A and B are shown apart, each in its own frame.
Chain A
Amino acid sequence: SQKIEQNSEALNIQEGKTATLTCNYTNYSPAYLQWYRQDPGRGPVFLLLIRENEKEKRKERLKVTFDTTLKQSLFHITASQPADSATYLCALGPGTASKLTFGTGTRLQVTL
């Protein structure tokens, strides 16, 4: 069956450092992969997407890589700030108008 795995343990890092979150998947051939941010009690908010034929995407302090051979995406936040503390979800989609399947999310805590 399809499986999307994110590190269930919280990631604690110091302000100013780079946070790296991992998303691994099995039994899936996604057309694209997306990252969302979720704050407590709120719905997820879209951050970035990367297509299967792209290796890397950047947006301000965010960078996403996508390795379809390893079936893995890495999500980096550089110069992290306490305001970046949240749960980050990866999501995979097989095509244009279909559902997204989400991972379990990784909670990031950035401390001063």
Chain B
Amino acid sequence: DTGVSQNPRHKITKRGQNVTFRCDPISEHNRLYWYRQTLGQGPEFLTYFQNEAQLEKSRLLSDRFSAERPKGSFSTLEIQRTEQGDSAMYLCASSHTNRDSGANVLTFGAGSRLTVL
């Protein structure tokens, strides 16, 4: 297993177009997260899945954003009618529960950078 994989790594699109990002998590991890990060800021939570169930979605996430994890494996994040303010790095992470602490430790992918012109 080579870790969390995200595609595409870079996407440039025109305002109003739809874009889709894919995330392939570590196979043993049943939880999958999407975060968004802009320059100089920390990752901002968007949504997360446990297996195929979407358990939480940020109130900051507009209707234009939708995420799926159809079989509890890979996930897609779609942004419809993109706006310039959507330009950011979209990070996917998967997680397991640390056996020693019971804590949720995240393994991130390299991210998908979106530029909306």
Is the pairing of A and B real?
Answer: yes
Interface residues of A (CB under 8 A from B): 4, 6, 8, 31-32, 34, 36, 41-46, 49, 51, 89, 91, 93, 95-105
User: Assuming the A-B contacts A104-B40, A105-B42, are A46 and B104 also in contact, with contact meaning beta carbons closer than 8 angstroms in the complex?
Assistant: no
User: Assuming the A-B contacts A45-B108, A96-B97, are A89 and B43 also in contact, with contact meaning beta carbons closer than 8 angstroms in the complex?
Assistant: yes
Instruction: State which of B33, B42, B98, B107 has its C-beta within 8 Å of the C-beta of A89.
Output: B42
B105 to A44, Cβ gap below 8 A?
no
Interface residues of B (CB under 8 A from A): 4, 31, 33, 35, 40-45, 48, 50, 56, 91, 93, 97-98, 101-111, 113
B101 to A32, Cβ gap below 8 A?
yes
In the assembly, what is the distance between CA of A43 and CA of B33, in Å? 13
User: Assuming the A-B contacts A89-B43, A101-B45, A102-B42, are A96 and B108 also in contact, with contact meaning beta carbons closer than 8 angstroms in the complex?
Assistant: no
User: Assuming the A-B contacts A31-B103, A44-B108, are A97 and B50 also in contact, with contact meaning beta carbons closer than 8 angstroms in the complex?
Assistant: yes
B98 to A49, Cβ gap below 8 A?
yes
Tell me which residues across on chain A come within 8 A of B98, comparing CB atoms.
49
